[in-house]
Amino acid sequence: MNKLTPVLTGGAIAIGLILSANAATLKMAYDADPVSLDPHEQLSGGTLQLSHMVFDPLIRWTQELGFEGRLAESWQRIDENTVRFNLRKGVKFHSGNPMTAADVLWTYNRLKNSPDFKGIFEQFKKLNVIDDHTFELVTKGHYPLVLHTATYIFPMDAQFYTGTDEQGEPKDKLVKHAGTYASTHVSGTGAYRVSSREQGVKVVFNRSSTYWDTTSKGNVDKIILTPIKEAPTRVAALLSGDVDFITPVPPNDHKRIKASDKVDLITLPGTRIITFQMNQQRKVEFKDVRVRQAIVHAINNEGIVLKIMKGFATAAAQQGPIGYAGFKANLKPRYDLKKAKALMKEAGLEKGFSVTMMAPNNRYVNDEKIAQAVVSMLAKINIKVNLKTMPKAQYWPEFDKRSADLMMIGWHADTEDSANFSEFLTTCPNKNTGAGQYNSGNYCNPKVDALVKASATETNPAKRAAMLQEVEQILYEDAAFIPLHWQNLAWAARKGVNIAAVINVQNFPYLSDLVIDEK
Amino acid sequence: MIAFLINRLFQAAIVMFVISLLSFSIQDNLGDPLRELIGQSVSEADRMELREELGLNDSFLTQYFRFAGKAIQGDLGTSYFFKEPALEVILKKLPATLELVFGATVLIIVISIPVGVYSAINPSSLFSKVAMGISIIGISVPVFLTAIISIYIFSVELGWLPSFGRGVTEHVFGTWETGFFNVDGLLHLLLPCLSLASIMLPLFIRLIRAEMMEVLQSEYIKFAWAKGLSPRRIWFMHALKNTMLPVITVGGVQIGTMVAYTILTETVFQWPGMGFLFLEAVNRVDTPLIVAYLIVVGAIFVITNTIVDLIYGLVNPTVKLVGEK
């Protein structure tokens, strides 16, 4: 026994050493920090990135756009309107409270009341709690996107958020413009706890010792997130070793980062489409499909990707990117100046006409330069464009007013699904239903509307994909809008920080699984 | 003196009123604050509801009087982004900016006076010519370029200095945290202070040189030489004192301007101060914060100018302050 003790002690020390050697700190810089600790306050990339650190979703996306259970261990469709989920057992919130189906119900009800999130849950009728670890999601009709939507449910600690704070306000109060308990206090099931936060300066996270996912190989026990707004400074901070991991990485710096032997650059094709819309109500010429086709044929979007985006984008001819249900591989970019000129002649407009154009100058990557390139391309078919660019803060009110004949808009589908693009961008605008809310072109084709509507209740994936592909085909033939490209995404990290395994096209890195090699 | 101060206070009140009115009237052209508060796919009805809640549908005058009524009680509104009173947010960021301006001011004083005086006394020496040449470059290079180039040289290539932020700060009192008392904090201060100083430094070297040269030509200096005083006494006692009068006036105004220049420096260095805060507020259309910032900066201008006028009277007793008999 006495002989054994030193061995055991030595072993314990050795294990301790291995553990402490493995534990790593990640210093990372994003362009912004989360606006609030309340996961339901604002539907934005920043909020979801935070949610994936402090909370866990029921289901999450894999890199291949498949589904992976997190807090939901398994699920099965009971009938056309119902999917039953089985919750993981033994999961605890940071507060120590156990996570049960009651928390999921509480979270679901809060989502239904959040102005930003309730749109996503529009098709859901109710959530039935069966027992502590089983519940059912019931939809209004046949709804194909139940699992897509479940990636937005990050169970919150109902007990923690119930009651009133020092001011006598309910702890779960959801207000966008005033401080609330939930915007500064948080209790989730996630791998990280917020240990300090100074908004706009830094957020410090520590790995939770009670994290349920003990199979995760992630060894980052402390994360310091600093927002660095200016792209050159962000890149400099990485290159000088002040931070380990940055995103986004501006296209102009890709070459230099690739050339460096200290850092890695990782890019993925993104899902945000950049387009121009042609307003048929303001400009009668745009009602003619030949004119719209001529414009699309006159714009060399592959050239824009090559020259302006430095190859850091994918030229597009449709709304949804590859991997989405509606993606149709035969739809190719169609730059052809000769054909464009011929089409203009056919429409009797070879002499051209004048239009106005507006674009933001700080919203999308190189948005202003892209707009300028489009102006010079349209000049070749004698369309004179009067371009006005402005900061996004001023741009969106102009967009809502439909202030120009050609307006730029980028779109990312919150549901990661093709139908979402059409719902907002290419269905007939209808103030009452909210359809076509961002369709500044006023393109309206009842056939598209019917197909999009039908796809919302089609639970057979193959049939549904066929519908959405037909939509893309019609939009292509109608030249409903000017497709430019899908913006790529880029991350850069110090060598040894294995981000490639944890990033995804949704741009919420699963940092709990991040492994940092020993130096 | 008292009458002068009261007079100044009255002026300040008018300035504040004009600033508040101006900043309030431009806010409609800054964009829609809702865009930064909500997600892209929120419905029109929900937008209208929030707009109503924020009081954005009221007429300009209603909004202004509501604001002014609260402002008199010291409430400048609540920031949309920080969800805290705008004044508190700004005052929290104020120390970082003041430290930056202070650091830059120290650099300017320590460098510009010796260099300016030396090149006035020895205008044809090589050092003077080089200093003048460099100062021309310094004046013509914009501050953000100086900042980015210095980051690339000193942080990325040489790895001597940190590239962003304030580093380790120590708590002093209230919300004041300082980087002046530890090495890390000072290292973080160096590049931003240099960049900020780079605009004003050449101006002051040239100003001090020109003033000094003029003073050295004046009758009383010639008389002092004739009297046989030591060169040191002439230069530093008699000439320098009179040189400094216009420099202090310009300096006072420029310190105020420097607070404005911090917008660029702070943005490049991710310095968590007021200037960066302001630019962000403009991007996010955080109108309460924008209005509060303009009022606070206006107040800083008024205060520095008042102090400068007071110092002026101390340095040169012949200067009479307004209201003094």
Rounded-to-integer distance, Cα B186 and Cα A346, Å: 70
Confidence at residue A276, expressed as pLDDT on a 0 to 100 scale:
95
Using CA atoms, how far residue A408 sits from A203, A389, A428, B78, B196, in Å, is 34, 10, 18, 33, 37
For residue B40, the tally of other CB atoms under 10 A from its CB is 18
Does A241 contact chain B (CB < 8 Å)?
A: yes
pLDDT at B68 over 90: no
Terminal Cα-to-Cα distance of chain A (whole angstroms): 38
Does B30 contact chain A (CB < 8 Å)?
A: yes
pLDDT at B34 over 90: no
Q: What is the pLDDT of residues B210-258, one digit of tens each?
A: 888 888 888 888 888 888 888 888 888 778 888 888 888 788 778 777 8
Does B283 contact chain A (CB < 8 Å)?
A: yes
Does A396 contact chain B (CB < 8 Å)?
A: yes
Using CA atoms, how far residue B280 sits from A200, B79, B82, B87, B178, in Å, is 10, 12, 11, 16, 23
Instruction: Say how many residues make up chain B.
Output: 325
The reply to whether residue B268 touches residue A230, judged by beta carbons under 8 angstroms, is yes
Instruction: Average the pLDDT over B69-87 and give the result.
Output: 84
Rounded-to-integer distance, Cα A164 and Cα A167, Å: 8
What does the mean pLDDT of chain B come to?
82
Q: What is the pLDDT of residues B268-300, one digit of tens each?
A: 888 888 888 898 888 888 888 888 888 888 888
- State both tokens at B58: 């009221």
Confidence at residue A491, expressed as pLDDT on a 0 to 100 scale:
93
The reply to whether residue A241 touches residue B38, judged by beta carbons under 8 angstroms, is no
- Please list every residue in chain B whose beta carbon sits closer than 8 Å to the beta carbon of residue A232: 148, 151, 268
**Residue stretches of chain A with pLDDT short of 50:** 1-21
The reply to whether residue A119 touches residue B42, judged by beta carbons under 8 angstroms, is yes
Q: What is the C-alpha R_g of chain A?
A: 25
Confidence at residue B43, expressed as pLDDT on a 0 to 100 scale:
75
- Please list every residue in chain B whose beta carbon sits closer than 8 Å to the beta carbon of residue A400: 32
Rounded-to-integer distance, Cα A464 and Cα A448, Å: 14
Q: Helix, strand, coil % (nearest 5) of chain B?
A: 75, 5, 20
Rounded-to-integer distance, Cα B82 and Cα A349, Å: 53
The reply to whether residue B80 touches residue A230, judged by beta carbons under 8 angstroms, is no
The reply to whether residue A240 touches residue B156, judged by beta carbons under 8 angstroms, is yes
Confidence at residue B275, expressed as pLDDT on a 0 to 100 scale:
87
Confidence at residue B318, expressed as pLDDT on a 0 to 100 scale:
64
Q: Counting Cβ atoms within 10 Å, is residue A269 exposed (0-12), middle (13-18) or buried (19+)?
A: middle
For B:43-62, CB contacts with A below 8 A are: 43-46, 49-50, 53-54
CB contact at 8 A, A415 and A144: no
Instruction: Average the pLDDT over B106-135 and give the result.
Output: 88
Phi first, then psi, for residue A313 (nearest 5°) are: -170, 165
pLDDT at B310 over 80: no
Confidence at residue A466, expressed as pLDDT on a 0 to 100 scale:
94
The reply to whether residue B83 touches residue A391, judged by beta carbons under 8 angstroms, is no
Name, of A273-287, B142-156, B192-206, the range with top average pLDDT: A273-287
CB contact at 8 A, B8 and B263: no
Confidence at residue B303, expressed as pLDDT on a 0 to 100 scale:
81
Phi first, then psi, for residue A39 (nearest 5°) are: -70, -10
Give the model's confidence band at B140: pLDDT under 50 very low, under 70 low, under 90 confident, else very high.
confident
Does B7 contact chain A (CB < 8 Å)?
A: no
Does B163 contact chain A (CB < 8 Å)?
A: yes
pLDDT at B321 over 70: no
Provide the residue type at A136 as one letter: E
CB contact at 8 A, B37 and B286: no
Confidence at residue A335, expressed as pLDDT on a 0 to 100 scale:
94
Q: How much is the pTM?
A: 0.81
Does B162 contact chain A (CB < 8 Å)?
A: yes
Strand locations in A118-219 (E)? 124-131, 134-139, 192-198, 202-207
Q: Is the dihedral of CA A397, A401, A404, A406 positive or negative?
A: positive
Percent of the residues in chain B that have a pLDDT greater than 70, as a whole number: 95
* Chain B residue with minimum CA distance to A413: B41
The reply to whether residue B163 touches residue A199, judged by beta carbons under 8 angstroms, is no
CA atoms within 13 A on the CB side of A224: 10
Instruction: Average the pLDDT over B51-67 and give the result.
Output: 81
Does A65 contact chain B (CB < 8 Å)?
A: no
Q: Which of A115, A183, A395 sits opposite B83 (nearest CB)?
A: A183
- With vertex at residue A198, the alpha carbon angle to CA A197 and CA A201, rounded to the nearest 5 degrees, is 120
Q: What is the pLDDT of residues A454-483, one digit of tens each?
A: 998 888 889 999 999 999 999 999 999 999
Percent of the residues in chain A that have a pLDDT greater than 90, as a whole number: 61
Instruction: Average the pLDDT over B301-318 and give the result.
Output: 73
Confidence at residue A9, expressed as pLDDT on a 0 to 100 scale:
45
Instruction: Please tell me the distance in Å from A423's CA to the nearest CA on chain B.
Output: 10
